[in-house]
Amino acid sequence: MLVTQSAISVRTRPASCKAGRVFSAWGQRMSGHLSGIRVLDLSRVLAGPWATQLLGDYGADVIKIERPDCGDDTRQWGPPWLREPGGGAGRESAYFLATNRNKRSLTVDVSSIAGQGLIRELAAKADVIVENFKTGTLDRWGLDPDDLRRDNPGLVVCTISAFARESSRAREPGYDAMIQAAGGLMSITGSPDSEGGEPQKVGVAIADIMCGMYAATAIIAALHERSSSGRGQSIEVPLYDSQVAWLANQAMNFLVGGTVPGRLGTAHPNIVPYQAFRTADGFIMIAVGNDRQFADLMRCCGMPELAGDPRFRRNEDRLANRSELVALMSAALERKASDHWLPELADCGVPCGPINDVGEVFSDAYASECGLVRTVRHPYDETLPTVANPVRFSSGEVSYQSPPPLLGEHSGEVLADWLGYSEETILQLKKAGTI
């Protein structure tokens, strides 16, 4: 069963969130900010697919190239699986579904001569290529970006690698967890040694996701430059480099102050109090960003005198005396339950919040109010949920035109659409195992 554009349903964003109409009922094809841009997605797993999903959300026509028979590695990364109609065990993993909406799937054996020829034909029609093959793979297959641009001078080619391809580490493999470790993130994530902690990775593949976001913004910048120059270009976004780049204030703390940052659990390296605190029945997060908020917090906790205490008056004082302040606050907060503190602190103007699990996030009224979950009509599930793109445009739309595709679902459609292939030619390619 193929899903047509007219068979896609999504929920509109409520007016209370002040967004424009995002999509029409039953998925009429709608223009987006990147409408007319053709993206050939040769990437797999997460960083590249995350980038191309963003481009698809903004209206680009994204063609996902997958290996025949097995497809993207993440199709096998389950359970959980989306169950087939009738309740049978499906083989569409939740992981794959998370990062491949708004794409069409075309299977191509890129390792074959015929498959490489097909990719060259598609590249000649594309605006963007995204790939994350091992260094040297595309060159070996005769798909060097410079060569592809001879036939298509406006082509933008984005390469996602573990390490910069001109570096001594160019041929080293890289996965999110090892990049989080080697790139410094795990050294600042987790409880401190003094509390028996150990390095921790972030609970999602954040190095991949952030690399994908850097890639998407770079691609859009290159397309903007092309609009005046008429020329495409090559872009490289290494996982390691992007990980280091978004160490942000922690990196600058080291570069400016010379002290290697360590693990602080939920605490902030530059602001106090800014961490989770235990209450009588759980934990809450308090995030004080200035001295006024600190004074409000102390008043709410029944310790107004601490706002004028020389140890705590200014943030730099609180940083120097962090342990003393945290001990005093912990003793006060542990006397009452979270349901007492959260409204009390909010009424005092103190930034605070519960520590929700993922289920609580999606059951919260805000999720429904602002449309954090959308539904698309998948061949296996007419109400397949997907996490919404958080961007809201005052003009234009974020697209939810199509669900993550089945493997090879659009092979014939794409070859006819992009290359004008006949049904007979497509059938021959299938018989030869090229697609």
Q: What is the pLDDT of residues 37-50, one digit of tens each?
A: 999 999 999 999 99
CA quadruple 243, 246, 252, 254: dihedral sign: negative
Indicate whether 372 belongs to any domain: no
Residue 397: predicted pLDDT: 82
End-to-end CA distance of the chain: 18
For residue 375, what is the enclosing H or E element?
A: strand 373-376
Indicate whether 148 belongs to any domain: yes
Q: Which residue positions in the chain have pLDDT lower than 70?
A: 1-31
CA gap 116, 121 in Å, rounded: 9
Same domain, 137 and 65: yes
Q: What is the pLDDT of residues 151-192, one digit of tens each?
A: 999 999 999 999 998 899 988 888 999 999 999 999 999 999
Same domain, 131 and 220: yes
Residue 383: predicted pLDDT: 85
Same domain, 308 and 237: no
Residue 1: predicted pLDDT: 29
Beta-bridge partner residues of 275: 286
Based on the structure, what is the number of domains in the chain?
2
Indicate whether 294 belongs to any domain: yes
Beta-bridge partner residues of 236: 159
Same domain, 344 and 236: no
This prediction's pTM: 0.89
Residues belonging to the active site: 208
Residue 15: predicted pLDDT: 40
Strands (E), 179-336: 234-238, 274-278, 283-287
Strands (E), 9-164: 38-41, 61-66, 81-82, 92-93, 103-107, 128-131, 156-161
CA quadruple 96, 157, 30, 64: dihedral sign: negative
- Give the residue numbers spanning the domain of 306: 274-355
Residue 18: predicted pLDDT: 41
Same domain, 138 and 190: yes
Indicate whether 384 belongs to any domain: no
CA gap 106, 124 in Å, rounded: 16
Residue 4: predicted pLDDT: 32
What lies within 8 Å, CB to CB, of 414 at 6+ separation is: 63, 104, 106
Q: Among residues 255, 217, 239, which one has the least CA distance to residue 167?
A: 239
